[in-house]
Structure 1
């Protein structure tokens, strides 16, 4: 007699296997994953600029979707994925494992201008909106976690990334401005103008231009902006 059929444990998204999770792969997230629309703008931009041999620095690893997409679709050298929310780290690793991804290092840490004491990270009901900013949704906070604070300049010197992928919920303006990004070949950044304002958006553009990168409209859409060296 045949063994009973096991319940399906994965969603399929852009050719990847995404483990089902009762608190993560639900509602809109589940639908977007199934339809290949999850973080679509950022995914499309990254696929246009990442190349063989790149070392990718991802700030805001989320559920591990972007690092898995890059690792499975491009022969990059390595990906360093930073995620502040400690509750997501086991799930990120499960996504990597499900897709046989072995060239990603997951860091549960925050990057800052310099090393410092652990910082408060505000976990929200909508895990994608969790951030350092308490005021961006104080009523939705479910817990406050202490997260390691590492120096961004030291991290860049150690890892030497060639591509930056950044989605850090409004911290992009202050954080990116504190480091030298001239070693990058390309950057994909999701802006959050509702929190950083016009001055913050200008700061991101100024920082990238100072690093020798030019705005690349063909790989930009709405709040996702792409920069690269050369044309």
Structure 2
């Protein structure tokens, strides 16, 4: 007869306290239900989370690029670039202060130390804005008129705005990765795009319509960046300097 099993309370507590992860593309993401809801969990498990943007980034970003990422989200793209592409110089901007500890945790758990995380927005001039944190952290934004959607507003935070010209002069990026929920129509024309080799954007025409889309394309064309269809899918568009 087998000896009866004994339970070591200390061992049980240690096992229960171990962080749980969702794995995606070989990367590890702490399972925080405020950030990873059922839909995101399924997408992460199937390696289809931000699929179009991921494919563009993996095919177009180079290890020697200096990347500026606007809208860092849960740290997915910056971790993907650092781990899979070995990019050594990434500046990730995220407005939502509730996401910053999670992004840093994602980087730490994946051994990423080449990303500088900025809790700030870029704009024309320096200042501050009110940011509305929602129960679903990823759905937080500067909009205060969404009612109880996405878990409702659970906090109001003051977020600094940095002049975009200052940030570009300081970082001198060669690559831009941008997903900022429609603000790109105003921000892209303010940028000095002349230093970029490539730009990968998720457009939001449902927010700004045809006029906003045209403003983005016109700004890219004026800077010598051409729409690159082979690395574009739907609302994710890529612009390159030279083919």
Q: Which band: TM-score by shorter chain? A: over 0.9
Offset of residue 138 of structure 1 = 4.5
Contact 1:132/1:171 (CA < 8 Å) preserved in 2?
no
TM-score (norm 1): 0.93
- 1:130 correspondence with 2:130: no
Contact 2:73/2:94 (CA < 8 Å) preserved in 1?
yes
Offset of residue 123 of structure 1 = 2.6
Provide, for residues 79-135 of structure 1, a one-character-per-residue CA deviation record: whole Å limited to 9, x for no partner. Answer: 00000000000000000000000000000001001112x101233344333223445
2:15 match: 6
- 1:60 correspondence with 2:71: yes
* Aligned Cα root-mean-square deviation (Å): 1.7
> How has the CA–CA distance of structure 1 residues 196 and 133 changed in structure 2, closer, same or farther, with 3 Å as cutoff?
farther
Provide, for residues 161-199 of structure 1, a one-character-per-residue CA deviation record: whole Å limited to 9, x for no partner. Answer: 110000001101001111211100000000111111111
Provide, for residues 189-225 of structure 1, a one-character-per-residue CA deviation record: whole Å limited to 9, x for no partner. Answer: 0011111111101111111111111101011011100
Residue correspondence of structure 1 range 72-221 to structure 2 within 5 A:
72-116=83-127, 118-135=128-145, 137-140=146-149, 141-142=152-153, 143-221=155-233
Offset of residue 18 of structure 1 = 0.9
- Distance in 2, Cα, partners of 1:134 & 1:199: 24
- Distance in 2, Cα, partners of 1:221 & 1:18: 26
| 2:44 paired residue among 27, 33, 36 | 33
Gaps of 5+ in 2: 1-5
TM-score (norm 2): 0.89
Q: Which has the larger radius of gyration?
A: 2
- Distance in 1, Cα, partners of 2:163 & 2:54: 27
